[in-house]
Amino acid sequence: MKTRRWERARAAEPGRKPRGFTLVEMIVVMAILAILAAAAIPSFVRIAQMDSDRIDATSRLVYGMLNIARMHAATYRAETAVYYTLIEVQDSRAGETDATLPAQVIADGVGVARRMTHMEVDQLKAQLEADGVDYSEDATFNEQRCFVALDGQETRLQMFHPDAAVWAWIEGLHNVPLGDQLLAETAETSQGLMRILLYRATEEDTDGDGELDGVTYERVHPRVLLEEENAKRAEPLDLTLYEGVFPAHVFLSSGEMRVGETTARVRYSVRVGHSPAAGVERRFLDADAYDYVEADADPDDDPDLPDVTVPHVLIELNQMTGRVRIVGDETAIAPPET
């Protein structure tokens, strides 16, 4: 390629070198380009990765709450619980594959509470009597199950992202047995849950001197599970177990978990995955092959039943030591043994 005469003459001038970029200039330009590229990439480019991040964030929230409760119990020598808020949501498969599919039960929030001291229980009873409430007529009232919600920044009730949930009772998944979900059998068996009464304590000025010298307790009531939806379930829940109480994992000051007397297991699990209300394409890796009727069937009777892959994270709890650990991402769950 020919160059103009004046360009050749200028390049031949004594002391003049061909122009180029210095290393510093190149680094600055590359840094600017990297920043612009990061800002230009839309946040919705990788939806699958976003969904995975939401599940991961929710699992780490539950994991963190469980460990906080365990440490609080050991530090303050008081039983500490991680309680779950339950809600029924419509399954995204309903109306397409099976109109009788019931609303599914999930935990959509988690918080930490500590057991009331004997003095606090006495104060609570005195308050109820002063308000004309006969707590002896309340079948759910039990002094050993009265807990106060902790409202610290790390312990207060925190709600999950709408697309993520702890699976409590989700039917129609042949490779996720109900016995491995949060509300397995009853609230005090397979998953190491206890039923607790939850109160919120508020300091107040009882004698009008401008100083906070008293505490009042307000009962926190959970959402009501619907009987009409329960009747649709293949294995209906005993709703009397959840009237006015929260399911919770309770840690003792020794580090152990407090579980029901009928529980014989040592390890328990909490499964965190997509909410049933999320789109089918998000919930199942092979959404095109999925069908509720087939999934509800016995895979041993139907060799052509598709292997439905349900991505989720498994958190394991050890009853003897109270140890909590994230087992890992479960993307392929074997069908239950018959």
Each residue's pLDDT tens digit, 109-145: 999 999 999 999 999 999 999 989 888 888 888 899 9
CB 262 within 8 A of CB 189: yes
b/e for 115-146, b at 16 or more Cβ within 10 A? bbeeebeebbbebbeeeeeeeeeeeebeeebb
User: Model pTM?
Assistant: 0.77
Q: Looking at the domain assignment, is residue 285 inside a domain? A: yes
Q: Provide, rounded to the nearest whole percent, the portion of the chain with pLDDT above 70.
A: 69
Pairing of strands 80-89, 104-115: antiparallel
3-state secondary structure string across 321-335:
CCCEEEEEEECCCCC
In a domain, 183, yes or no: yes
The whole-angstrom separation of Cα 43 and Cα 134 is 55
Q: Is residue 338 in a domain?
A: no
Number of domains in the chain: 1
Q: Which range in 93-97, 113-117, 213-217 is most confidently predicted, on average pLDDT?
A: 113-117
Structural domain includes residue 39: no
3-state SS class at 267: strand
Is residue 55 in a domain?
A: no
Q: What is the pLDDT of residue 146?
A: 96
Domain membership of residue 23 (yes or no) is: no
**Is a pLDDT exceeding 90 seen at residue 101?**
no
Question: Poorest-confidence range of 81-85, 163-167, 169-173, 328-332?
Answer: 328-332
Return the pLDDT at 93: 74
Residues spanned by the domain of 216: 78-330
pLDDT band (50, 70, 90) for residue 29:
low
**Is 175 within the bounds of a domain?**
yes
Q: How far apart are CA 243 and CA 223, in angstroms?
A: 9
| 94-98, 130-134, 217-221: the lowest-pLDDT one | 94-98
Mean pLDDT value of segment 92-97: 65
Residue 227 pLDDT > 60: yes
Task: Report the greatest alpha carbon distance in the chain.
Answer: 106
The answer to the question of residue 190 being in a domain is: yes
What angle is formed at CA 40 by the lines to CA 39 and CA 43, rounded to 5 degrees?
80
Higher pLDDT, 238 or 335: 238
- Beta strand 146-149 with 194-204 is parallel
**pLDDT (tens digit, 9 = 90+) per residue, 55-82?**
889 999 999 999 999 999 999 999 999 9
**Stretch 98-104: mean pLDDT:** 73
Q: Per DSSP, what are the bridge partners of residue 219? A: 199
